[in-house]
């Protein structure tokens, strides 16, 4: 029998343990509908996910100022801010395409946050012309609502712990999902997942922060091998719904099946998601705080995985500008919210990192680069139009890498931090921090100074 003095102590410790337990994870699935001129939102369902919230409660409020959108969760009675995150979305990209000028579409999206103890007011906001956030949608939610769903977990194949460095609340939790892998190919997926994880931690600053990451993997079994590539007549119904040819771009891989993606991902602790697709054709994509994708069997997977993860993880802009893209550029050249591109070369976001004495804007062999790159793009289009073997594309990539490494690595200001014109898909009016970067080319330059600094800030937002 416990002594009277000990029993209250144990009860108090038990109470503290209950108080310290992490909250569950709530998710609001909603439809984002509109066109180039207007947008609106509608609730689909509210889901209580099966796992506890993986984040640090002390870092619930986002301080990164990243994302085209953000959402805030506040105590409805007091207005106290409980949680916030910036994000980008498929809709946010689609609304800038020519299709959005003539067609209205709906995209499924989600907001995930720790389950609150009290009724809350959720606000979704979007940046205006001067980058200030403005409220577009308000939703009141009572976490005790009996209609909050607890859907059964779909078959995800079992959780694989690729790297465990500590409690999810103290670490950055990355989830690698496989799509288009049959049950017999599960071993292939795990091998490729470990391979891309190694590529990620070879790059600075991920390399220096490896201990700050947990990496998990799930591979829901597909009925047949591979994913959809509609431009070649290939259609697959895969667990995550990934497909090439998003927005009409043959290399852009996305999934529009947000419900399926979220229900599968909910079976692991995660903050960031990379979807590996079982394909060899070059392709991928990355959207900030949504997910990134990469074709696991491509010869450039090391570059491709890390590049697309940079978009997703730190909101990095593409720094290249000679490739075809689906969006319609703005003639006004507004300042991008992305941390590695600027419209103001005299006062760039990365001003503290500038090389002393570097001229602003910073001259580089731009004309020579563009002439070569445009010729390369024509050859690339011809290979795809003829649906030639991927080996021919690989050979083209290899030749391009040799040229870019030589030109960009031997210029007057190579390796220096300045403001180099050509970024954010635009040849003029936008600038990047260094002549070469992993967000600019496929060579071995690594991340530029602005990208490295942005990645460091995001790691600090999630890891202790």
Least confident piece of the model among 285-294, 326-335, 344-353, 376-385: 326-335
Give the tens place of pLDDT for each residue, 290-316. 999 999 999 999 999 999 999 999 999
Structure confidence at residue 15 as a pLDDT band (50, 70, 90):
very low
Mean pLDDT to the nearest integer, 418-445: 96
The domains of the chain, with CATH numbers, are 23-141 (2.60.40.3250), 161-314 (3.40.390.10), 351-461 (no CATH)
Q: Counting Cβ atoms within 10 Å, is residue 175 exposed (0-12), middle (13-18) or buried (19+)?
A: buried
Better-predicted residue by pLDDT, 390 or 364: 364
Q: Which of 125, 29, 23 is nearest to 82 (CA)?
A: 23
Look at residue 12 and tell me whether its pLDDT is greater than 90: no
Mean pLDDT to the nearest integer, 191-195: 98
SS3 string, 34-102, reads: ECCCCEEEEEEEEEEEEEECCCCHHHCCCCCCCCCEEEEEEECCCCCEEEEEEECCHHHHHCCECHHHC
Least confident piece of the model among 113-117, 211-215, 362-366, 376-380: 376-380
- Residue 303 host element (H or E): helix 301-314
Structure confidence at residue 223 as a pLDDT band (50, 70, 90):
very high
Tokens for 286, please give them.
Answer: 């990355």
Distance CA 42, CA 32 (A): 7
Structure confidence at residue 326 as a pLDDT band (50, 70, 90):
low
Distance CA 427, CA 421 (A): 7
Distance CA 183, CA 201 (A): 28
Structure confidence at residue 330 as a pLDDT band (50, 70, 90):
confident
Kindly list the strands in the beta sheet with 120-127, ordered across the sheet, starting from the edge strand earlier in the chain.
Answer: 81-87, 69-75, 120-127, 133-141
Q: What is the pLDDT of residue 20?
A: 63
Structure confidence at residue 119 as a pLDDT band (50, 70, 90):
very high
Look at residue 6 and tell me whether its pLDDT is greater than 70: no
Distance CA 99, CA 104 (A): 9
Look at residue 182 and tell me whether its pLDDT is greater than 70: yes
Mean pLDDT to the nearest integer, 419-443: 96
Look at residue 236 and tell me whether its pLDDT is greater than 50: yes
Q: State percent of the chain over pLDDT 70.
A: 95
Residue 124 pairs in a beta bridge with: 71, 137
Q: Which residue has the tokens 């999902």?
A: 177
Q: Quote the Cα angle for 338-344-345, to 5°.
A: 105
Q: What is the pLDDT of residue 8?
A: 43
Give the tens place of pLDDT for each residue, 241-273. 999 999 999 999 999 999 999 999 999 999 999
Average pLDDT, the chain: 94
**What are the backbone dihedrals phi and psi of residue 23, each rounded to the nearest 5 degrees, phi first?**
-70, 165
Distance CA 111, CA 187 (A): 32
Distance CA 460, CA 388 (A): 45
Tokens for 36, please give them.
Answer: 């180039």
SS3 string, 146-178, reads: CCCECCCCCCCCCCEEEECCCCHHHCEEEEEEE
Mean pLDDT to the nearest integer, 163-188: 98
CB within 8 A of 20, min separation 6: which ones?
Answer: none
Structure confidence at residue 333 as a pLDDT band (50, 70, 90):
confident
Q: What is the pLDDT of residue 323?
A: 81
Structure confidence at residue 327 as a pLDDT band (50, 70, 90):
low
Least confident piece of the model among 260-274, 326-340, 389-403, 446-460: 326-340
Give the tens place of pLDDT for each residue, 183-192. 999 999 999 9
Least confident piece of the model among 306-310, 343-347, 377-381, 415-419: 377-381
Mean pLDDT to the nearest integer, 135-152: 96
């Amino acid at each position: 029998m416990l002594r009277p003095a000990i029993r209250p102590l144990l009860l108090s410790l038990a109470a503290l343990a209950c108080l310290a337990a992490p909250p569950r994870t709530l998710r609001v699935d909603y439809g984002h509908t509109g066109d180039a001129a207007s947008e609106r939102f509608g609730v689909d369902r509210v889901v209580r996910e099966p796992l506890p919230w993986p984040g640090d409660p002390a870092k619930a409020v986002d301080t990164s100022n990243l994302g085209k959108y953000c959402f805030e969760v506040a105590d409805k009675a007091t207005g106290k801010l409980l949680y916030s995150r910036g994000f980008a979305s498929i809709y946010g990209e689609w609304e800038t395409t020519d299709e959005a000028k003539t067609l209205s579409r709906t995209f499924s999206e989600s907001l995930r946050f720790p389950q609150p103890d009290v009724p809350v007011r959720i606000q979704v906001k979007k940046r205006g012309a001067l980058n200030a956030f403005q409220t577009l949608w308000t939703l009141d939610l009572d976490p005790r609502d009996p209609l909050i769903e607890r859907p059964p977990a779909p078959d995800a194949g079992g959780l694989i712990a690729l790297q465990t460095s500590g409690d999810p609340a103290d670490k950055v939790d990355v989830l690698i999902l496989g799509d288009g892998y049959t049950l017999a190919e599960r071993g292939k997926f795990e091998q490729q997942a470990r391979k891309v994880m190694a590529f990620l931690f070879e790059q600075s600053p991920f390399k220096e922060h490896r201990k700050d990451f947990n990496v998990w993997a799930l591979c829901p079994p597909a009925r047949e091998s591979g994913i959809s590539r509609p431009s070649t007549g290939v259609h697959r119904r895969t667990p995550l719904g990934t497909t090439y040819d998003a927005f009409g771009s043959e290399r852009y891989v996305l999934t529009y099946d947000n419900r399926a993606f979220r229900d599968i991902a909910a079976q692991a602790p995660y903050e960031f998601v990379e979807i590996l697709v079982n394909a060899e054709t070059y392709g991928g994509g990355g959207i900030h705080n949504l997910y990134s994708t990469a074709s696991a069997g491509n010869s450039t997977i090391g570059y491709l995985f890390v590049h697309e993860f940079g978009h997703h993880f730190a909101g990095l802009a593409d720094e290249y500008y000679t490739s075809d893209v689906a969006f319609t550029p703005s003639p006004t050249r507004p300042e991008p919210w992305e941390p590695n591109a600027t419209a103001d070369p005299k006062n760039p976001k990365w001003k503290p990192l500038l090389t002393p004495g570097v001229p602003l804007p910073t001259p580089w062999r731009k004309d020579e680069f563009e002439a070569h790159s445009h010729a390369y793009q024509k050859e690339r289009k011809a290979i795809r139009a003829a649906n030639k073997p991927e080996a021919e594309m690989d050979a083209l990539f290899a030749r391009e890498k040799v040229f870019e490494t030589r030109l960009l690595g031997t210029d007057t200001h190579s390796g220096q931090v300045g403001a180099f014109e050509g970024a954010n898909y635009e040849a003029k009016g936008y600038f990047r921090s260094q002549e070469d970067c992993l967000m600019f080319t496929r060579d071995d330059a690594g991340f530029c100074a602005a990208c490295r600094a942005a990645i460091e800030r995001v790691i600090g937002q999630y890891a202790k």
